[in-house]
Structures are given as C-alpha cells and as structure tokens.
Chains A and B, each alone.
Chain A
Amino acid sequence: MAIENAVSAEEIKVDAKKMHISTTDVAIDIIAMHKWYGEFHVLKDINLKVMRGERIVICGPSGSGKSTMIRCINRLEEHQKGKIVVDGKELTNDLKKIDEVRREVGMVFQHFNLFPHLTILENCTLAPIWVRKTPKKQAEEIAMHFLKRVKIPEQANKYPGQLSGGQQQRVAIARSLCMNPRIMLFDEPTSALDPEMIKEVLETMVGLAEEGMTMLCVTHEMGFARKVANRVIFMDQGQIVEQNTPAEFFDHPRHERTKLFLSQILH
C-alpha cells in the first residue's frame, strides 16, 4: 500500500535500537478527561497513558480534537472534567504547577510561533535565561549546541523573518529543546511547510525520537507515523476511536471510521 505524503516511509531512516520505552515510568496520564468550548463538547472521555520514551502519533479528520487534546497537556487549553497528570504533577488552576509543567513540556506549533523581534539566538536563550535563570553565556552555549543539532548554527544572528519555513520550524524545535524538556508535543509541525522543507523537519524529529524523547505528534505524515511511532491514535468527534501499533493500525484498521479515514488519505 503506497502512502501519499511529501516524505514516504522509505525515505525515513530510523535506528530503532536506541528507542527505549519504559514500562514503569508514566510520563503523562489522562483520566476520563472532558472539555467544552462553551456549550460545545469538544473532548469526550479521553483516557491516555503515555510511558516515558513513547512516540505517539495522533491523527484524525480536522475538528476531531487532536490539537485541543495535546494543548490540554501543557494547559494552553483548560479541561473541565477528569484528570491530567504530567510528570507526576496534576494540572489544576494552580498557576505555579502549570508553569512547572510547561517548563518540562516543550511544544512545537504549526505556525512556529517564533518571536519575530528577537534573533534566532535570542529566541533560544530567552526562556533559559528568564525561566531557568541560566547565566547568559551558558544559555548561549546551550542554544548554539541545539542550533547545531538542527543544522542551522550559521543563522544564529538572523531574525525569524529572514529564514525559510523549514528553518524556522527547526529553530522552534531547538528553542524548545533549550529548556531541556522531558516531553515534546508537536502540533502539526509540518502542515504549514512546503514539500521540500518537510523532510528536514521530520529528520530532526526522528533524531529526537532516537534519543529516547517522549513525543506526542499530531501529524498527517503517515510515513513518519509508520516508521517512528510506537503507537498511533485515531481521533474522531472529540474521542479516541482506535489506537494500535503502526503496523496493525495501517494494515488492519478495525473501526469503520478508521477504515474510511485511511482509505481517504492512503492510495
């Protein structure tokens, strides 16, 4: 079955040996979580336990609540019922707890959300300096380390507006990594990119997976899901409809809705 995506599964090289999943260490635990936008019930009875080192891809039609769900994990969205525990800290109205969780959870957005008035280097050092109180010099060293890892150290003194979309998204990943997060959330990180740039961003994400980062990715890159994820979650109408290993998920979908969805995106 061929997968039509900018980057096919064959192009993604993964060294699976390094990817270790803990059996005891729970990174995120979502229990019977509900969310409403006013009267509209967007998320219904979400239950999801993520172990340390897991790489989860969340897919589903637009409006199915994928983004909303991962945005609840760092409290960009507030849930109204149920429990979300991240790294042992439960998310409540306690602002201090929320900031603690956000420090440990990195997030990459569809539209990058870099700070246009700051240089690439300043984008990367801002949070370490102000939130972690890292000395400026050390923060810059850390930033340069991660900019090298995403392969754009030479852009450090430019502004986001001078970079291509793919470069900006890699900066956004480096910016998150500078905070040394234990969990990374990706909210459609390649959806706003030209086909030529998707590959460079996916490669960066594969590199992170190989280092054992706990990752939750909302993405339509099915090649990436097949090769990198250890679990694929399918959502529709605000609920988790099906989850399975990628091989089973793509080759033997069980729910009718999943079959329909896959038949529309795979040819």
Chain B
Amino acid sequence: MQEHDMSWVRTEMALAQPAPASVRGMGAWVRTNLIGSVGDAILTIIGIALVAMILPQVINWAFINAQWTGPDRSVCATVAQGGIQSDGWSGACWAFVNAKFGQFMFGTYPIEERWRPILVAILFVALLVPMLIPRVPRKGLNAILLFLVLPIVSFVLLVGGMFGLPHVETSRWGGLLVTLSLSFVGIAVSLPLGVVLALGRRSKMPIVKMLCIIFIETVRGIPLITVLFFVSVMLPLFLPAGVSFDKYLRALIGVSLFAAAYMAEVIRGGLQAIPKGQYEGADSLGLGYWQKMGLIVLPQALKLVIPGIVNTFIGMFKDTSLVIIISMFDLLGIVKQNFSDPNWATPQTARSGLIFAAVVFWLFCFGMSRYSMYTERRLDTGHKR
C-alpha cells in the first residue's frame, strides 16, 4: 500500500550561494581555532600567558640591554667583573660578534685576501638565485655554471697559488666559509651519487646491486665522526708514502659520501612509491632504461621525496660542525674557539656567540625548508596515480 506520492520533479536547478558569515572571516577563524571548546580556550590562555612571561625578558636581553659595539670585554661586563656596566646588568654582547665577525665568516683567512671568498660568495648568490626562481630562463646554462664552472673558479680563487694569487692553506679556512663550502659540495655531490646508488640498489645486475648495498649499509652504519676520523687518520695509512692530500679535501669526501648513502635510501623510498604501471607505460612506448628512469620515474620519485631530500640536506648542513673533531673550524667551531679570547671573556660572551651561530644556522635551514615547500606546491600536478 502506497501512502503518499513518491514522484517529484525539480522544476528549477538550485544556484550556488555564498557561504554563511559564521564560516567566513576573522571571527570564524578565532572561534574555530582559539576558543572552539573550553579546553581550547584554556590552552589559548596558557599559551598567551607563557609568551607574555618569556618574550619581554628575551627582548630585553637581546635588544634593549644589548651592547652592540665596543673595543673589548669591558662593555659587556659589570663593574664587579671589571667592566663598565652597573651590577645586575644582563644583556647580549653583540659587540663580541661584531668584533669577531670577519673570523666567524672566514676563519683565519688572511685579511688582505678576504676579497676572494667575498667574490666567491657574490658569484654563488648571483648563480643560485636565478637557479631557484622557476621563471628565469636558461636553466641548463645556469646549472652548468653553478655546478661545474663555479666550483672550479672557487677552487682557483680560494686556494690560489696560480694566476698571481698567493696560496692560502686550507687550514686557515674557517667559519661560515667552511660550513657553506662543505655543505654546497656535499649537496651537489650527494644528490646525483644518491640517485646512482639508489638505482644500483634496485638494479637487476647482482654485482652492481651488491656493491651499492655494501656501500650504503657500511657508510650508513658508521657515525659521521667515525667516517671523518677514518678519512682523516686512517686513509693516509692506505696511501703510498709521501702521498698526502689535504685535510679539507678529506672532510669534503667524507661528508659527501656520508650524505650520499642517506640520500640513496631516501630516493629508493621514492622509487618504490612509483606504481608499476608507470614503468610499463614507459616500456610499452619503447623507452630505454635510462630514458625511462630519467624522464618518467625519477622526476616523479624525486618530487615525492622532496621533504626527505631536504631533510638530509639540512641534517648535513648542521653535521658539518663535526669537522671540529679533525681540527677544522666551521662556524660553530670558530665561535666556540673565540670564547677563550681573554679580551672578550665575560659571562655574556658564550651565550651571545652561540645565539649568533644558532641564528645563522637557522636562517639557512629555514630557507631550505621554505624553498622545498614552495617547490612541492609548484610541482604538484594534482594526480596521485
């Protein structure tokens, strides 16, 4: 038995309407995100209270009470400590950073030759920035200049000993110069090497596969400190007598190989995420192995693992500090070394120097992180298959 008529026909199609005010705008955001429930509101209040407690002290120490310039430790020490500040003063000693800035950047690179690293830095920025902006044309030429020509030019400029440039021992390099050059070479070497190792590990050729697995598992199973010790202390034992190569170069090789092993595993993860259908699609069109990998599989796999790749880059950037154990001084090493300068020894020196180093490291790492997120969004073609 049918009680009511079930047939119904729409006479007019409904039009889309704007969303109601309760889900739009600032007020809605505050309501849903800050005071969505009693628990949310309590957490919001605690959060604001914490910021209100801590932030003024930090600002006070880092900016208001801070000493920006000065000839020596007296500006950063209280009277009791042999300085000029009143008792109970506490503030950042940026004067220390200011006075040592050159060393923090270049280590003990001779002052009259410092135009050389500065020139390298300018060239680096001038080539890197257009490389990072997708709109700028001629990426191929740019890449050749950045990854092939720049390292050679930098080598000539920094090491010298030719074209009338005085030779500068790498033992005099230091600070940000060492941090950045180690990281740049590490990044530029580890990515392609990691790709080759990852492909090798998935290869059907047993010997290639075994060599890649042995390399990856050996290097990955050893701490970076051990790798650095090994290349610095042990490697000379295996070389013929009289042959020695530079400590800086050895650190460079150690860091690059270490990062490449990690990179290989990150990239292998990406390769495994590419569906079999993509390989078959490429095969069915007659693409060869390298065409298939280079044009179809790797572009997708690398895009998938951008977060992992950048993670490895950031990790390596910070790990360069470990070269201090083979007595090379990167940014952190040189900052720490300067704590012992009696001219600047105050209770505030170490804090200020470490915060400066932290901020510099953070800026570079945060930059890499943001750029990787931008790249992920840019390359997203909204398709998961």
Question: Which residues on B sit within 8 Å (CB–CB) of A126?
Answer: 285, 287, 295
- When chains A and B are docked, how far (Å) is the Cα of A74 from the Cα of B381? 30
Which of B232-240, B273-281, B353-361 lines the interface with chain A?
B273-281
**Do A116 and B383 touch (CB < 8 A)?**
yes
**Do B277 and A113 touch (CB < 8 A)?**
yes
Task: Answer whether residue A164 sits at the interface, using C-beta atoms and an 8 A cutoff.
Answer: no
Q: Given known contacts A116-B300, A130-B291, is B280 in contact with A162 (CB within 8 Å)? A: no
Question: Which residues on B sit within 8 Å (CB–CB) of A103?
Answer: 285-286
**Do B277 and A159 touch (CB < 8 A)?**
no
Taken residue by residue from 279 to 313, chain B's Cβ proximity to chain A (1 for < 8 Å, 0 otherwise) reads as: 01111111110010001100110010000000000
Which one of A102, A112, A116 lies within 8 Å of B286 (CB-CB)?
Answer: A102
**Do B381 and A159 touch (CB < 8 A)?**
yes
Task: Answer whether residue B377 sits at the interface, using C-beta atoms and an 8 A cutoff.
Answer: no
Interface size on A (CB < 8 Å)? 29
Task: Answer whether residue A109 sits at the interface, using C-beta atoms and an 8 A cutoff.
Answer: yes
**Do A113 and B383 touch (CB < 8 A)?**
no
**Do A117 and B291 touch (CB < 8 A)?**
no
Q: Given known contacts A159-B383, A161-B381, is B285 in contact with A117 (CB within 8 Å)? A: no
Question: Which residues on A sit within 8 Å (CB–CB) of B286?
Answer: 99-100, 102-103, 127, 131, 179
Which one of B284, B296, B382 lies within 8 Å of A161 (CB-CB)?
Answer: B382
Task: Answer whether residue B119 sits at the interface, using C-beta atoms and an 8 A cutoff.
Answer: no
8 Å CB contacts to B: which residues of A74-115?
74-76, 99-100, 102-103, 105-107, 109, 111-115
8 Å CB contacts to A: which residues of B329-385?
379, 381-385
Minimum distance in angstroms from B90 CB to a CB of chain A: 55
- B interface secondary structure, majority: helix
Task: Answer whether residue A160 sits at the interface, using C-beta atoms and an 8 A cutoff.
Answer: yes
30 residue pairs bridging A and B, Cβ less than 8 Å apart: A76-B283, A99-B286, A99-B288, A102-B284, A103-B285, A105-B284, A107-B280, A107-B284, A109-B280, A111-B385, A113-B278, A115-B282, A115-B300, A116-B383, A116-B385, A117-B381, A126-B287, A126-B295, A127-B285, A127-B286, A127-B287, A130-B287, A130-B295, A131-B287, A161-B381, A161-B383, A161-B384, A162-B382, A176-B285, A179-B285
- When chains A and B are docked, how far (Å) is the Cα of A74 from the Cα of B384? 26
- When chains A and B are docked, how far (Å) is the Cα of A107 from the Cα of B280? 9
- When chains A and B are docked, how far (Å) is the Cα of A77 from the Cα of B183? 45
Q: Given known contacts A102-B283, A115-B278, A117-B300, is B288 in contact with A159 (CB within 8 Å)? A: no
**Do B284 and A76 touch (CB < 8 A)?**
yes
Minimum distance in angstroms from A141 CB to a CB of chain B: 18
Question: Which residues on A sit within 8 Å (CB–CB) of B278?
Answer: 113, 115
Which one of A109, A111, A159 lies within 8 Å of B382 (CB-CB)?
Answer: A159
Closest chain A residue to B282, Cβ basis: A115
Question: Which residues on B sit within 8 Å (CB–CB) of A131?
Answer: 285-287, 291
- A interface with B by C-beta (< 8 Å): 74-76, 99-100, 102-103, 105-107, 109, 111-117, 126-127, 130-131, 159-162, 175-176, 179
Minimum distance in angstroms from B260 CB to a CB of chain A: 25
Closest chain A residue to B382, Cβ basis: A161
Closest chain A residue to B289, Cβ basis: A95
Closest chain A residue to B277, Cβ basis: A113
Supplied contacts A103-B286, A109-B281, 10 more A-B pairs, CB within 8 Å: A106-B284, A107-B280, A107-B284, A109-B277, A113-B284, A126-B295, A127-B287, A130-B295, A162-B383, A176-B284
Question: Which residues on A sit within 8 Å (CB–CB) of B277?
Answer: 109, 111, 113
- When chains A and B are docked, how far (Å) is the Cα of A225 from the Cα of B150? 63
Which one of A100, A102, A115, A179 lies within 8 Å of B296 (CB-CB)?
Answer: A115
Closest chain A residue to B381, Cβ basis: A159
Minimum distance in angstroms from B353 CB to a CB of chain A: 46
Which one of A76, A99, A114, A117 lies within 8 Å of B299 (CB-CB)?
Answer: A117
- When chains A and B are docked, how far (Å) is the Cα of A105 from the Cα of B286? 9
Question: Which residues on A sit within 8 Å (CB–CB) of B284?
Answer: 74, 76, 102, 105-107, 109, 113, 176
Question: Which residues on B sit within 8 Å (CB–CB) of A179?
Answer: 285-286
Closest chain B residue to A77, Cβ basis: B280
Minimum distance in angstroms from B296 CB to a CB of chain A: 6
- When chains A and B are docked, how far (Å) is the Cα of A175 from the Cα of B291? 17
- When chains A and B are docked, how far (Å) is the Cα of A175 from the Cα of B299? 19
- When chains A and B are docked, how far (Å) is the Cα of A126 from the Cα of B278? 14
- When chains A and B are docked, how far (Å) is the Cα of A116 from the Cα of B285? 16
Closest chain A residue to B383, Cβ basis: A161
Task: Name which of B285, B291, B379, B383 has the most chain A CB atoms within 10 A of its CB.
Answer: B285
- When chains A and B are docked, how far (Å) is the Cα of A105 from the Cα of B284? 8
Question: Which residues on B sit within 8 Å (CB–CB) of A105?
Answer: 284
Question: Which residues on B sit within 8 Å (CB–CB) of A74?
Answer: 283-284
**Do A113 and B288 touch (CB < 8 A)?**
no
Question: Which residues on B sit within 8 Å (CB–CB) of A76?
Answer: 280, 283-284
